Amino acid sequence: MSPGCFQSRSAAALARLEGHQEEILQLAIRTGDRSALQALISEMQRAGAMLELLEALAAPAKRESSERMLLAALRAGAQRMLLDALVRHRSWRVRLRVARLLAASGEIALVPQLELLETTERLPRQRRILRWVLSRLREAQAAGPPTELTPATSPAS
């Protein structure tokens, strides 16, 4: 069995351990093995755990944990999923929470993708939210590297 196959099977098993996903994700981050972390995130997406985390953003009791896990996923390469949720999720509350998360992340690598989304978005409210996230990320870029996720203020409507 190849190491990649073993890693994939391990990630699949770990992604399905309900109630321990945040702990597992944090352990995977601490290993520094980017490919293992990406495999775990991919398996969490396949298992539906990432969608559950997005939905949990609307639930105050689960929000903080979900934000931490989604931020870790963002930094591990789940930008596409979060950008998609930002503009397409059915719940406006989740879209706003994702906007706050992305804005507070300090992930400047998102700027080109957000700029593209802003130019192609048809809804004025969505464009305003995208511009708000972009402005926050640009401010973070000017201020220096991010230290920790902090609560963000609400984007203008």
Domain ranges of the chain: 3-105
Residue 147 has pLDDT above 60, yes or no: no
Mean pLDDT is lowest, of 8-12, 108-112, 130-134, 144-148, for 8-12
Rounded to an integer, the average pLDDT of 128-146 is: 87
Residue 16 has pLDDT above 60, yes or no: no
What's the pLDDT band for 2 if we cut at 50, 70, 90?
Answer: very low
What's the pLDDT band for 131 if we cut at 50, 70, 90?
Answer: very high
Residue 32 has pLDDT above 80, yes or no: no
Residue 125 has pLDDT above 50, yes or no: yes
Chain segment 94-123, per-residue pLDDT in tens: 999 999 999 999 999 999 999 999 999 999
Task: Determine contact, residues 103/152, Cβ cutoff 8 Å.
Answer: yes
Q: Is 96 left (phi over 0), alpha (psi -120 to 50) or beta?
A: alpha
Higher-pLDDT residue of 146, 98: 98
Rounded to an integer, the average pLDDT of 30-36 is: 79
Q: What is the mean pLDDT of the chain?
A: 81
Residue 66 has pLDDT above 60, yes or no: yes
What is the Cα gyration radius of the chain? 16
Q: pTM of the prediction?
A: 0.75
